[in-house]
Amino acid sequence: MRVSLICSATLFPLACFAFPAIKREISEDTLAQYAALAAKISREVEVKRGPTRRAFDADAQRISTTGEHAYVSPGPDDIRGPCPGLNTLANHGYISRTGVDSILAVTTAANEVFGMSLGLATFLSVYSGVMTGDITSFSIGGKPKSSLLGGLTSSLGLLGEGQGLSASHNRFECDASPTRADYNTGDPVSLNLAQFEQLVAMPKGPNGYDLTVMNQFRGAGFNRSIATNGHFFAGPFTHLAVNAAAYSFTYRFFGNWSAERPGEGYLDLETLKSFEGVIGEPGNFQWKQGRERFPENWHRRPIGDEYSLFSLMLDAVDAITTVPYVIAIGGNTGKPNTFTGVNVGDLTGGVFNAQTLLQGNNLACFAFQAVNLASPDILRGGLLGDLAQTAVQKLTEALGSIFATLNCPQLVKYDTSLFNAFPGAGSGL
Ligand code: HEM
Ligand SMILES: *[C@@H]1O[C@H](CO)[C@@H](O)[C@H](O)[C@H]1NC(C)=O
Ligand SMILES: *[C@@H]1O[C@H](CO)[C@@H](O)[C@H](O)[C@H]1NC(C)=O
Checking if the pLDDT of 352 tops 80, the result is yes
Max avg pLDDT among 26-30, 311-315, 406-410 = 311-315
| pLDDT the model gives residue 23 | 52
What is the domain partition of the chain in residue ranges? 13-421
Residue with the larger pLDDT of the pair 156 and 147: 147
Does the beta carbon of 172 sit less than 6 angstroms from any atom of ligand 1? yes
Alpha helices in 180-308 (DSSP H): 193-201, 211-228, 236-237, 244-254, 269-276
Which pLDDT score, from 0 to 100, does residue 22 have? Answer: 35
CB 348 within 8 A of CB 414: yes
Share the mean pLDDT of the chain: 87
- pLDDT at position 60 is 96
266 CB near ligand 3 (under 6 Å): no
Distances (CA, A) of 300 to 59, 111, 201, 294: 10, 10, 25, 10
- Residue 159 pLDDT > 60: no
CA–centroid distance, residue 359 to ligand 2 (Å): 23
pLDDT at 161: 55
Ligand 1 centroid vs 243 CA: distance in angstroms?
Answer: 9
Q: Quote the crossing angle between the two packed helices 386-404 and 118-132, to the nearest 10°.
A: 130
- The single-letter code of the amino acid at 253 is F
Pocket test for ligand 3, best of 271, 297, 301 (most atoms within 8 A of CB): 297
Q: Binning pLDDT at 50, 70 and 90, where does residue 49 land?
A: low
E strand or H helix at 319: helix 309-322
Band of pLDDT at residue 381, cut at 50, 70 and 90: very low
Span 359-379, average pLDDT = 75
Given a cut of 50, whether residue 148 has pLDDT beyond it is no
Check if the beta carbon of residue 121 is closer than 8 Å to that of residue 130: no
Average pLDDT value for residue range 37-44: 88
Averaged pLDDT, 70-97: 97
Q: What per-residue confidence (pLDDT) applies to 134?
A: 77
Question: Residue 298 CA: which ligand is closest?
Answer: 3
Amino acid at 174: C
For the CA of 222, the nearest atom of ligand 2: 1
Residue 145: pLDDT over 60:
yes
Distances (CA, A) of 68 to 61, 91, 108, 410: 18, 11, 17, 48
For 229-276, how does the pLDDT look when each residue is reduced to its tens digit (9 = 90+)?
Answer: 999 999 999 999 999 999 999 999 999 999 998 789 999 999 999 999
The DSSP call for residue 141 is S
CA–chain centroid gap for 237, Å, is 11
Q: What angle do CA 208, 302, 323 make, to 5 degrees?
A: 40
Q: Please give the average per-residue pLDDT across 204-233, as a whole number.
A: 98
Range from 154-163, 220-229, 378-387 that averages highest in pLDDT: 220-229
Cα(189)–Cα(70) distance, integer angstroms? 24
Is this model's pTM higher than 0.95 or not?
A: no
Q: How remote is the CA of residue 87 from the centroid of ligand 1, in Å?
A: 9
pLDDT(115) > 90: yes
| Fold of the 13-421 domain | Chloroperoxidase (1.10.489)
Among residues 390, 384, 395, the alpha carbon closest in space to that of 20 is found at 384
User: Ligand 3: distance of its center to the CA of 160 in Å?
Assistant: 44
CB 384 within 8 A of CB 23: yes
Average pLDDT over residues 372-382: 46
Residue 336 beta carbon below 6 angstroms from any ligand 3 atom? no
Q: Ligand 2 atom 1: the closest Cα is on which residue? A: 223
Report the residue count for the chain: 429
Q: Tell me, what amino acid is at 240?
A: L
Pocket lining: 219 vs ligand 2, CB cutoff 6 Å: yes
Percent of the chain with pLDDT over 90: 68
How far, rounded to the nearest angstrom, does the alpha carbon of residue 69 sit from its chain's CA centroid? Answer: 23
DSSP of 42-56: HHHHHHTTS------
Confidence of residue 412 (pLDDT cuts 50, 70, 90): confident
Task: Find all residues with CB under 8 Å of 66, minimum gap 6, and list them.
Answer: none
